[in-house]
Amino acid sequence: MKIFKRQQSKNQRRQKAPPVFIPWRFGVICACVALAMLALVGRAAYIQVLEPGKLIQEGDMRSLRVKAMPSARGMISDRNGESLAVSVPVQAVWADPVQIFKNGGLEQQDRWYALADVLGLERRQLLSRIEKNKQRRFIYLQRQVSPAMAAYVSKLKLPGVGLKDESRRFYPAGEVSAHLVGVTGIDSHGLEGVERTYDGWLTGEPGRRTVRKDRYGRVVENISLKQREPGKPLTLSIDQRLQAVAYRAVKQAVADYRATSATIVMVDVRTGEIMAMVNAPSYNPNNRDQLQSFRMRNRAITDAMEPGSTIKPFVVLAAMENGVADEDTIIDTGNGIMQVGGSRVRDVSKVGKANLARILQKSSNIGVSKLSLAMPVDAVLGMYSSVGLGDASGINLIGEAQGFFPDRRRWSDFERATLAFGYGISVTPIQLARAYATLGAVGVNRPLSILKTEQVVPGRQVASVENTRKLLSMLEMVTGKDGSAKRAAVPGYRVGAKTGTAKKAAAGGYSDEYVAMTAGLAPISNPRIAMVVVVNEPQGDKYYGGAIAAPIFSEVMESALQILNVPPDAGTNEKLNIVHNRGNTHAGT
């Protein structure tokens, strides 16, 4: 019992003993707490003072939203203000797959099937696409849908499906001006024609609205607003009335002659403005199913060809400019066959002895060959180049070809002879139109323009006024009753024109296909319009320029002169009659 009490007494003394204070342990604990506090303060200072950007960025990624406000693309119109390309408001249908599967996924299949049907999509394909992109926050379901379709999609109230404002390009002229105006892609950037060349001018600056949203998507702060700037409008030089007339003619020519293509280029002689530029076959830029390369190619600027006899007036002009011949010079073309080296130059019909006017009137290959052989080759090529052949036309459309001019150290006589009637070089229809516009401007060569010009671009005098006027008079005789281009004549107007027929080049020589051409001016008394007509690979027995291209030239030129209210100038002056009679007299001797 005593032992138990002593033990109990010891336990009581132990419980009453004061706690032992250990200084070093207390110091360690305080140091750890202080270090932890310093570390937290240092980290907070580092984050907020030295490197605050990262957390701000993380916060902004979760709360800031930028809404783009697309701007309208600039309108394209013709010289009279007729709309050729306008932007119309449309919408895009998009989906947020993450949000979709947070709200039941694709369970309501009837509504999803309705969405696929209105968008013109295959039902299973739509659902499969959403399934495959479960982790994505944004995918397009359909771009550029009509307002009616957008309203239907909105009424479906599918979670995770929304609408976005867009604009779509609409072309009121359709296929008539498609090659010239061009077309835009799904993102409203130009792909072809004027739309592509002047994309920077036509494209505006989109607006941007920056807001801060909370976790429920509510706007809690407006950060900034950048106003949108619409694209600038563009006025082209073409006259849509002339475009329609010319396009109807080339489309009919392709059908009538089963041709591969046909082209017309019309130029205002006074200013160098393109009044019309059409090709067939064409395409409807409002229908993306027709965007095929062979339809979309603007053949007036991309397709080079050997110009054939349409080049002969410039050989005659070069001869007069270089003092080799004048309007009274007589050239003996013999019996219609001329031996040049180991080859022969032939005329379609015998011309005999004739002056320059008669040479052009009957389109004598031998006559112009003799003129070419009497001059240095540089004189002929120099004239071709000075009137714009082989050079950029000046319209600046992307895709324009330069043609082909041979650069040889030595020329055979036969090569120099064929150079005079359009073989051995290649030019585009627009270059040929520029050359004839130079003749119409009495020897002034100015760059062409696809934009309406406020002031006439000054040109360069490349041939004397006197010789050019003489040549214009000779060209008028070509459309007379005895001329090779008589079917290019226009009732009531004095017209000068030259037809041409060229075989198409092929690997190792020439093929059996032809290009029929007619180039000319009207009215000769005061030239207003220069025009080139090209029919590529006509089928059948008719393939000459005088039989195919000349009637088209006459039809379109007559309509153009009437639309532009150009007064008639019918009648041939006395001087022309004298020249004509003199040519016939010499031809018979």
Tell me the per-residue pLDDT of 319-364, one tens digit each, with 9 for 90 and over. 999 999 998 999 999 888 998 888 889 888 888 899 999 999 999 9
Q: What percent of the chain has pLDDT over 70?
A: 93
The answer to whether residues 470 and 492 touch, using CB atoms and an 8 Å cutoff, is: no
- Phi/psi for 326 (5° steps) reads -135, -175
Helices (H) and strands (E) in the chain, counts: 22, 21
User: Residue 269 — φ and ψ, nearest 5°?
Assistant: -60, -35
Percent of the chain having pLDDT more than 90?
Answer: 47
572/473 Cα distance (integer angstroms): 10
> What pLDDT shows up at residue 17?
56
**Quick one: fold of 240-587?**
Beta-lactamase (3.40.710)
Task: Report pTM.
Answer: 0.81
pLDDT at 576: 41
Residue span(s) of the chain under CATH 3.40.710.10 come to 240-587
55-113 pLDDT, tens per residue? 777 777 777 777 776 777 899 999 999 999 998 888 888 888 888 888 777 777 788 88
**Residue of 167, 309, 372, 393 marked active site:** 309
pLDDT at 584 over 70: no
Q: Is 386 a catalytic residue?
A: no
Half-sphere exposure of 366 (CA within 13 A, CB side): 26
What is the pLDDT, as a whole number, of residue 48? 77
Cα–Cα dist 172/88, whole Å: 12
Per-residue pLDDT at 222: 78
Position 12 scores a pLDDT of 61
pLDDT at residue 586, rounded to an integer: 34
Express each pLDDT in 400-455 by its tens digit: 998 888 888 888 999 899 999 988 899 999 999 999 999 999 999 999 999 998 88
Scanning 258-337, the segments in alpha helix (DSSP H) are: 293-296, 299-302, 312-321
Residue 268 vs residues 16, 239, 257, 272, 448: alpha-carbon distances, Å? 121, 11, 29, 5, 9
At residue 346, the 3 state secondary structure works out as strand
Q: Half-sphere exposure of 182 toward its Cβ, with a 13 Å CA cutoff?
A: 22
Rounded to the nearest angstrom, the gap between the alpha carbon of residue 176 and the centroid of all alpha carbons in its chain is 14
Q: Please give the Cα distance from 30 to 548 (Å, whole number).
A: 107
Contact, 400 vs 301, CB < 8 A? yes
SS3 39: helix
Spatial distance between the Cα atoms of 532 and 525, rounded to a whole number of angstroms: 19
Fold of the 66-121+129-235 domain: Penicillin-binding protein 2a (Domain 2) (3.90.1310)
Q: Quick check: 205 pLDDT over 80?
A: no
Dump pLDDT digits (tens) for 228-243: 777 899 999 999 999 9
Instruction: Read off the pLDDT of residues 267-279 as tens digits, 9 standing for 90 and up.
Output: 999 999 999 999 9
What dihedral do alpha carbons 407, 413, 416, 418 form, nearest 10°?
-120
The candidate with the shortest Cα–Cα distance to 383, out of 346, 336, 425, is: 425
Query: 580 pLDDT band (50/70/90 cuts)?
Result: very low
Please, which pLDDT band fits residue 9 given cuts at 50, 70 and 90? low
pLDDT at 377: 92
In angstroms, the CA 526 to CA 524 distance is 5
Element (H, E) at 27: helix 23-45
- Spell out the long-range contacts of 150-154 with Cβ–Cβ below 8 A and sequence spacing 24 or more: 150/90, 150/91, 150/93, 152/118, 153/93, 153/115, 153/118, 153/119
In whole angstroms, give the CA distance from residue 91 to residue 165: 5
Euclidean distance between CA atoms 237 and 390, whole angstroms: 23
Query: Could you write out the DSSP letters of every residue in 522-574?
Result: E-TTS--EEEEEEEES--SS---TTTTHHHHHHHHHHHHHHHTTPPP--S--H
Beta strands in 319-416 (DSSP E): 331-332, 337-340, 343-346, 353-354
CB of 365 within 8 A of CB of 421? Answer: yes
Residues of the chain with CATH 3.90.1310.10: 66-121+129-235
Nearest CA-CA partner of 170 in 297, 287, 277: 287
